[in-house]
Amino acid sequence: MNTAYLVDDRFLLHDDFDHPENAARLRSVLRTLESSQILPELTRLEPRDATMDEIVAVHHPRMIQHTQRMALFGGGRLNPDTYVVPESWEVATLAAGAVARAVEAVVGGEVRNAFALVRPPGHHATPSTAMGFCLINHVAVAAQVARQQLGIQRVAIIDWDTHHGNGTQDIFYDDPQVLYVSSHTYPFYPGTGHWRELGSGAGEGTTLNIPLPAHTGDRAFERVYETLVARAVRRFAPELIIVSAGYDCHWRDPLAPMAMSVTGFARLAQLVVALADEVCNGRLVCALEGGYDLQALAEGVLATLRVLQGKPELVADSLGTHPEAKLDLEPMIAAIARIHPLLT
C-alpha cells in the first residue's frame, strides 16, 4: 500500500509576509518535493472541508464565531501573534478537513500512511482560544473524527514540534482514550508542558510531557523516543497514531534554540513508523505544524515522507548536523519513567 500526501493551493491564502508563519513555508516544501521527484511515487488525496459539527466537537462556538467574524470584516489579530485574513477561516477549515481525510484514508485502508501538508498550524488552539499562529486544532478534529465516525477507540497523538501543544493537551486532558505525548523545549512558549502535567480525572496518565533543555540534539531526542515515547505508546496500545509534525527543533530554526538535524527528524519518523507497525497495523498520519527555516522545514518534510514510504535510505540532509550540547538527560528520563502512571 502507498503513502499519501494532502495539500491544496488554498493553504497559501492565509498569508502575512511579515509573519514567520507565512505562505512561503508551504511553497518551500512544495518546491522541494517537486524537485525531489517523490510526488509521482505517492498517492495524492484531495482535502475536504471539516464540517461545523466536527469543529464544534473540539472548539467552543464563541471562539469559532470570533475568528469567523474577524475574517468576514477583513481580518486582523486575534492576539499579538495570531493573524486572520479574509480567507483564514476557510483555510483553517480545509486544513482540519485535510487531516481528517488523511485519517479516513488510513483507517479505511486506502493508503498505508499519510502526511497532511497544512497551514496554519493547529496544536496551540485550545477548546476556547485561537493562539500561537493556530486557529483550529487539526489533529484534535481528526482524532475525534476517527473516534466518532470510524470506529476507532484509542488514538495516540505524538507531538515533536519544539513548542508544547497546549491546545491538544487541553482538549484531551481528562480523556482516557486519547494519549497525548509531547517532546518540547522547556521553559519556552507557551509555558506549559511540565512533566507533572499528566492528565486529570479519568485521563490521568494519558498525557505525557517530556520537557527538554535548549540545544537538545539528535542523539538525545532518539534516546527520549526509544525509551519514554515507545514505552508509553506500547502500554497505551492505540489503534491509530497521529503525529503533530513540526520542524522547528532544527538547529537552523530562527524561533527556537534546539539542535536537531534533518537526519534526526528521519530517525524520529523511523521510530514512530516502527511503533505504528508494532501496535496499530502501521496506521499513521502526520500533520504539519511549525518549522520556520524554509530549507530545514522542506527537507524535514521530504525526509519524513521518505521514511513513511519505506525508503529511509533516500533521506538527504544538505544542512548537516550541528554540534550537540553534551546534555545528560538520563536523570530526567529516569525521573519521568518513575513518576508517570503509564510508565511505572
- The residues carrying an active-site annotation are 124
Alpha-helical runs (H) found in 161-285: 166-172, 218-224, 230-236, 262-279
| Of 185-193, 212-220, 244-252, 309-317: span binding Zn ion (CB under 5 A) | 244-252
Report the site for Zn ion in 134-163 (rule: CB under 5 A). Answer: 161, 163
Residues 6+ apart with CB under 8 A from 287: 99, 102, 115, 116, 118, 122, 138, 139, 142, 242, 243, 244, 245
- Nearest to Zn ion of 217, 238 (CB atom): 217
Query: Is 193 a residue that touches Zn ion (CB under 5 A)?
Result: no
Residues 116, 139 contacting (CB under 8 angstroms): no
29 to 48: interface string for Zn ion, x by CB under 5 A: --------------------
| Of 5-13, 60-68, 166-174, 284-292: span binding Zn ion (CB under 5 A) | 284-292
Task: Give 3-state DSSP helix, strand, coil % of the chain, rounded to 5.
Answer: 40, 15, 40
- Nearest to Zn ion of 15, 161 (CB atom): 161
Question: Using the rule CB under 5 A, which residue among 146, 290, 302, 303 binds Zn ion?
Answer: 290
Question: Using the rule CB under 5 A, which residue among 248, 253, 293, 324 binds Zn ion?
Answer: 248
Residues 157, 181 contacting (CB under 8 angstroms): yes
Least Å distance, CB 110 to Zn ion, is 30
Relative orientation angle of helices 24-36 and 294-308, to the nearest 10 degrees = 50
| Of 149-157, 193-201, 246-254, 294-302: span binding Zn ion (CB under 5 A) | 246-254
Query: Is 217 a residue that touches Zn ion (CB under 5 A)?
Result: no
Report the distance separating Cα 334 and Cα 156, nearest Å: 22
- The phi and psi torsions of 189 (rounded to 5 degrees) equal -60, 140
- Nearest to Zn ion of 185, 227 (CB atom): 185
Least Å distance, CB 166 to Zn ion, is 11
Query: Is 170 a residue that touches Zn ion (CB under 5 A)?
Result: no
Residue 281 burial (CB count, 10 A): 14
Query: Is 21 a residue that touches Zn ion (CB under 5 A)?
Result: no
Q: Binding residues for Zn ion, per CB under 5 A?
A: 161, 163, 246, 248, 290
